[in-house]
A and B are shown apart, each in its own frame.
Chain A
Amino acid sequence: MTIVRKGIAPYLVVLMVTLFLLYQTTHLGFEAPGGRIGPDVWPKIVLFLAIVICVYEIARRLLAREVDLDGAGGSLDELDRYSGETAESVVQLAPSYPWLVAAGVAMSIAYVALLGILGFFLCTTLYLAGFSLLGGYRRFVVTVLASVLGSLVFVFLFMKIVYISLPLGIEPFAQLSYLLMRLMGVR
């Protein structure tokens, strides 16, 4: 609980990742010739610095009272003051929806995973419609129209104008991609 309450978790995660990477760097299996410094030195310097900073911050947070933890570590006072004022007076503190973010990430992962199967047009249309609905836009006709037309514009722009070979998908979905390419005159 202390880890969550005192905001130590992110530093702990970074510390564990850097320790793992440091272990990897010490096992490169290469010895630099003639007493020169090797390819492991620079990453080790960077990782060592990250570890020291994380250990310092974790120790500081463990030892500090909770009220002292905000704005830790050398903030730009003037900007902070103004930013604080802004946060309250201009943009009212909005509630957080982490489940929406999780769904957004899941959709993005699905998009990348399905891109090679469904092809760019179909996958993009589904993603645009799904993401708009997820974001709270509820006018279905507009959403569908914007998604289909938007995907067509993307296909035209990138395949016809910028000459980028976008994924076509596998059969039977590839047939739709070929049809669109024929209609747009893309070779």
Chain B
Amino acid sequence: MIDTLQQFAGGIAACFQPPNLLALVVGLVAGMLVAVLPGLTAVMGIVLALPFTFGMPVTPAIILLSAMYVSGTYGGAFTSILFRIPGEPLDVPLLWDGYAMAQKGEPAKALGWTMFAALIGGVTSVILAVMLAPHFAAFGLQFDSPEYFAVLLFALTTVVALGGTSLVNALISLCLGLMVATVGVDGVYGVERLTFGVPMLADGVEYITVMVGAYGLGEVLVRLDQRFRSGALSKGTKISTRFPSLREVWGVRATLSRSTVIGMVLGAIPGAGATIASFVSYGTESQYCKNREKLGSGIAEGIVAPQAASTATVASAMVPLLTLGIPGSGATAVILGAFLLQGIQPGPQVFIKDSALVYTIFGSLLLGMVGMCLLGYFAIKLLIKVLYLPEAVTSAFVVIFCFVGAYSARSNVTDLWMIVAFGIVGYLFERFRFPIAPMVLGCILGTQIEDAFMTSMISYQGDWTVFLTRPISGTAMALSLISLGYPLYRSLRHRRLARRVPASVAT
């Protein structure tokens, strides 16, 4: 424990080296700007920043992206509370009590509660994540290829189960992602697959083009489909922050603890992430909060719960990524992509051999939590001015960023065609309610899961039962089955109940 804390302190100190500190500050500001703009999501912002990391050393590169991830969970709170515009889906629960409190004439207090919740929830989760990470890494060291296959399968199935409104659509999205990952030369035998004679496809489809296309261009096309119609801004809103008193803080201690725990647990589960944590914690408060009958009327608990939970997901989502190499969300998938582009495969080996890097990233998360609150307190008046930029113009710039970003990876125009193709796919996915995250994760993890599968099958002479008979892989396979089976069971039950109700009404 002492050793862990010493390394963590070293990581925090390393964050003050000029390149790391600069990356942290730039990441926080960029993440806040992205979160404030309603047309841009945090994941999209991180994807757009990815090309800038190509020429950077790995530590500031990851710090830049994770700082954007941190402040992305907080910046949207301002627009939700002040203008009733949720910058991110995770900010929606803040509309109910945050905006209501602002309407009652206390916007500064509402912003104060948000800042307090983000700070406490975020800092607590970083400290707990640092303490849990070595145990995760030690667990990861026991993995052989069957375990990796089973754990990756579990990660993908939970993403599918939690990733959207339809299990079927999420599964199709995942299959498409895994399919894209098989394009190119096979890693075991060197055979070309699904290349259709196109030389460029022999190298495979760059997952950056899938990410940038689906999240970047696809999102812009979705907004264009609605003619960039955002909510009208009420001018002259006073923007200031007033912190709650110690007595008020003591009054929400139970809400804060519950929400931080919910955020940490849901952050570590692949596919859950900040949005679900935000909604679930609000839902939990509506069941267990002392003032639950007042929820929605502008009370502190309704602000603290979603904000603390969504910020707490960040550090816990980084634990499986840094210790096992498994991303749990769109944002961590992009950060994994950044690691891979730097030639580093995160996992237990990196955690042990390059622990300085890992603890510097954790240190940057802690400083990021504090930094984003300072930024929110002092600079939000300036940052919020981006809301007045015309969305059509900012979207045009976003598309160019997408193109240049992907072009800079290989300097090849074929990648730009891929972006257009996946942009159209992303738009169609949104239109027909197919979630994008499973496709992107399938695309990134596809090669790894296939390698683990092939290695297992070759090492164990084609014995399929190896995935079921080993303790860790067997457990992970069972959990995969449950994570897919439970929503299916719930859906069937729901439909059966729905059929019964009209029947009983008719009688």
Contacts and interface: CB of A to CB of B under 8 A. Distances in A.
Interface of B is mostly: helix
Given A94-B229, A96-B226, A154-B400, A77 B494 contact: yes
Contact of A115 (B95, B167, B416): B416
B393 A46 contact: no
A132 B393 contact: yes
B279 interface: yes
B189 A112 contact: no
A166 interface: yes
B404 A30 contact: no
A57 B168 contact: yes
A168 B317 CA distance: 42
B224 A100 contact: yes
B427 A101 contact: yes
Contacts of A54: 172
Interface stretch (B21-29, B361-369, B379-387, B485-493): B485-493
Interface in A74-119: 74-80, 82-83, 86, 90-91, 94-98, 100-101, 104-105, 108-109, 111-112, 115-116
B162 A97 contact: no
A140 to B, nearest CB: 12
Contacts of B93: 82
Contacts, number: 222
B501 interface: no
Interface string B86-102: 10000011010000000
Interface string A13-41: 01000100100110010101001111111
B407 A82 contact: no
A174 B292 CA distance: 67
A114 to B, nearest CB: 11
Contacts of A158: 404, 408
B132 to A, nearest CB: 26
Most buried by B among A24, A71, A72, A128: A72
B408 A35 contact: no
Nearest to B169: A73
Nearest to B217: A108
B323 interface: no
A68 B491 CA distance: 12
Given A42-B182, A94-B229, A166 B191 contact: no
B167 A73 contact: yes
Classify chain A: how many residues form its interface, as a range: 35 or more
B247 interface: no
Most buried by A among B164, B217, B390, B420: B390
B335 to A, nearest CB: 20
Nearest to B280: A78
Nearest to A13: B428
B352 to A, nearest CB: 30
A170 interface: no
A134 interface: yes
A164 B454 contact: no
A113 to B, nearest CB: 9
Most buried by B among A10, A38, A47, A97: A10
Nearest to B92: A86
A25 B428 contact: no
Contacts of A41: 457
Contacts of A53: 168, 171-172, 175
Contacts of A24: 194, 196
Contact of A131 (B55, B86, B392, B434): B392
B52 interface: yes
Contacts of A96: 225-226
A72 B178 CA distance: 23
A75 B166 contact: yes
17 contacts: A21-B179, A37-B454, A42-B450, A42-B454, A53-B175, A76-B487, A90-B92, A94-B227, A108-B423, A128-B397, A131-B392, A135-B396, A137-B392, A142-B393, A143-B393, A154-B400, A165-B411
Interface of A: 7, 10-11, 14, 18, 21, 24-25, 28, 30, 32, 35-43, 46-47, 49-50, 53-54, 56-57, 68, 71-80, 82-83, 86, 90-91, 94-98, 100-101, 104-105, 108-109, 111-112, 115-116, 124, 127-128, 131-137, 142-143, 146-147, 150, 154, 158, 162-167
Interface of B: 51-52, 54-55, 84, 86, 92-93, 95, 161-162, 164-169, 171-172, 175-176, 178-179, 182, 186, 188-189, 191-194, 196, 217, 220-221, 224-229, 231, 275-276, 279-280, 282-283, 390-393, 395-397, 399-400, 403-404, 407-408, 411, 413, 416-417, 420, 423-424, 427-428, 432, 434, 450, 453-454, 457-458, 462, 487-488, 490-491, 494-495, 498
